[in-house]
Amino acid sequence: MGDNVEMSTPADAGVRLWLLWKQVSELVRASVVADVIESSDLSEPEMTVLVHLNGSGGTARQNALAASTGWDRTRLSHLLTRMESRGYLSRARLRNGVEVTLEAAGAEVIARTEPPLAAAVERHLTGRLSAAQQQALRDILETLRS
């Protein structure tokens, strides 16, 4: 009667799962970024843009970059302006948008950054999961993204 037993509801379990996801995703993100920033003069947002540009063959529409990063257009535009001034990329206004192109300085810095990035991802994420866990995580993330 006087026992103070804490009941767990499905809502409580959902909130705990969300908090765990937040904690782990931030821990992995921060660990990967810390490892990479150690060996690069890029900020995390700059690295993100360069990885996306490099992965798209060196050219992408600015609105596609905004969508793939999840950033609003104003934030991305300010970042691209700074990156353009550093010679990492260029932008060209087209009839129906803006095209962003990786320049030689950006290609050089991302070529130096990708090996430490891959090693950090392996160390803090993929290397800690089995192939089946990696596939399950990929499936979950793809489901949540859509």
The pLDDT tens digits along the chain (146 residues) read 555 555 578 788 899 999 999 999 999 999 999 999 888 889 999 999 999 999 999 999 999 999 999 999 999 999 999 999 999 999 999 999 999 999 999 999 999 999 999 999 999 999 999 999 999 999 999 999 88
Number of domains in the chain: 1
pLDDT for 11 equals 82
Question: Is position 11 within any domain?
Answer: no
User: Quick one: three-class SS letters along the chain?
Assistant: CCCCCCCCCHHHHHHHHHHHHHHHHHHHHHHHHHHHHHCCCCCHHHHHHHHHHHHCCCEEEHHHHHHHHCCCHHHHHHHHHHHHHCCCEEEEEECCEEEEEECHHHHHHHHHHHHHHHHHHHHHCHHHCCHHHHHHHHHHHHHHHC
* 4 within a domain of the structure (yes/no): no
> Which residue range is the domain that position 43 belongs to?
19-145
